[in-house]
A = this chain, B = another copy of it.
Amino acid sequence: MDQPDLAAVTHQHVAFDDGMALDCGMALGRLVVAYRTYGTLNASRSNAVLVCHALTGDQYVAETHPVTGKGGWWDMVVGPGLPVDTDRYFVICANVLGGCMGSTGPRSPRDGAAPGVLWGTDFPPVTIRDMVRAQKRLIDHLGIARLFAVIGGSMGGMQVLEWAASYPESVFAAVPVATAAYHSAQNIAFNEVGRQSLFADPDWRGGRYWESGSVPARGLAVARMVAHITYLSEQALTRKFGRRVRGGAAAGDLALFGDMFEVESYLRHQGSTFVRRFDANSYLTITRATDYFDLAAEHDGNLSAAFAGTRTRFCIISFSSDWLYPTAESRAVARALNRAAANVSFVEIASDKGHDAFLLDEPDFHRTLAGFLAGCAEHAGLPE
């Protein structure tokens, strides 16, 4: 398996040797937060924007990725003159706790163990709230008392909601995109298929694959394939692939296991490229964190209570063809915010691109984001 040694790549980071307590009751003895920044922090430290990444994203938002060599995952959104304008804002993005791009996670040295022993599957379960706590440590370290904005899509949006709920005084504006305040049974079910697929791979070796230098590539690829289907709408799949077959194969060629339909070839490619850049134990840890997420449950079942008295300005954005986190779930968040008398806008972007729309060229989305931030900057008295 041609996965580069992910642990050998160095990432900009900060280490907290006093560690961090976790929701599960355990504590990490040492906490590392890997991050990237773009733009310049102004003198009053008032122009910081935290971008929160999704399940398989990372801190390389707007630059070449050190492992894949590809462009940043949000380089259409973050950069000079773009909706999150790095000529104006100081943009920060941290690899989530549990991730595999430098922040503490299953590939990190295990607390109190001999050198070379990693956490692996013994890494403690983490929650979205734990991820946000780790980010708060970074923000404190950077000397930023209040973030001008916290922005993120999908699992990044869960972090945005958790930031607003946990640190309301530290968030001037919040933009949760294509997300929900809890994971539904269907969301959990799809994640569980991915996990079982990983466990079924003999190279999984009970989660200790790293000891033998192996990678549960086939199981992780299947997990990615099923997840990827949920990121796209049926319309997008039909438009991109329809029933087209690949290469010389004609519709009459009934080759049972050949690369027949283009959509199959595409999914296999998605699976195999993912395996090269992601750690299987991180995939388990992070999917589990999304399954646990239920912001109302953290507030006695009352989602409005999570936002009681908030002064944060919210812009909630959903996409009409997103069936993973449907508009109805964004609307439920907007209603809860309305009940809490919060300042909230809610925009459903018409798009047939499915959940992935937040990562794609969607001018209406980009205009909405730019406009909301500009309005907030005016209210915040941020210099142009």
Name A residues whose Cβ lies closer than 8 Å to a Cβ of B. Answer: 23-24, 121, 125, 127, 182-186, 188-190, 192-193, 196-197, 199-202, 218-219, 221-222, 225-226, 229, 232, 234, 237-238, 240-243, 251, 254-257, 260-261, 263-264, 267-268, 271, 284-285, 288, 291-292, 294, 297, 323, 326
Copies of the chain in the assembly = 2
Q: Are B125 and A254 in contact (CB under 8 A)?
A: yes
- Chain B residues with Cβ below 8 Å from A255 are 125
Shortest Cβ distance from A185 into B: residue: B237
Say yes or no: A121-B225 contact (C-beta < 8 A), given A242-B185, A263-B192. no
Chain B residue at minimal CB-CB distance from A265:
B192
Choice from B24, B193, B285 contacting A229 with Cβ under 8 Å: B193
Q: Indicate whether A229 sits within 8 Å of B323 (C-beta atoms), given known contacts A267-B192, A267-B193.
A: no
Distance of A174 from chain B, by nearest CB (Å) = 24
What CA separation (Å) do A222 and B185 show in the bound complex?
Answer: 17
Asked if A264 meets B189 with Cβ closer than 8 Å, knowing A125-B256, A254-B292, A256-B288, the reply is yes
Smallest Cβ-Cβ distance to A220: which chain B residue: B200
26 A-B pairs with C-beta separation under 8 A: A121-B257, A184-B243, A185-B242, A185-B261, A186-B232, A188-B264, A189-B225, A189-B237, A189-B267, A190-B226, A192-B225, A192-B264, A193-B229, A196-B271, A197-B222, A200-B200, A200-B219, A200-B221, A200-B222, A222-B222, A226-B226, A234-B323, A234-B326, A243-B294, A261-B291, A323-B323
Which chain B residue lies CB-closest to A229? Answer: B189
* Alpha-carbon distance between A190 and B222 when the two chains are bound, in angstroms: 11
Contacts of A127 in B (CB 8 A): 254
Residues in B whose Cβ lies below 8 Å from that of A218: 196, 199-200
Q: Determine the distance from Cα of A199 to Cα of B284 in the docked complex, in whole angstroms.
A: 22
Inside 8 A of A292's CB, which chain B residues have their CB?
254
Interface hub of A182, A193, A251, A326 (most chain B Cβ within 10 A)? A193
B256 pairs with A121, CB closer than 8 A: yes
Specify which of B183, B184, B197, B284 is in contact with A200 (CB 8 Å cutoff). Answer: B197
Closest CB of chain B to A65's CB: distance in Å?
26
Q: Which residues of B contact A201 (CB under 8 A)?
A: 200
Q: How far is the CA of A194 from the CA of B65 in the complex (A)?
A: 31
- The CA of A323 and the CA of B234, in the complex, are separated in Å by 9
| A254 and B24 contact, CB distance less than 8 A | yes
Complex A-B, nearest 3 residue pairs according to Cβ-Cβ distance, in ascending order: A200-B218, A185-B237, A125-B254
Chain B residues with Cβ below 8 Å from A243 are 182-185, 188, 294, 297
Decide: B229 and A23 in contact? CB cutoff 8 A.
Answer: no
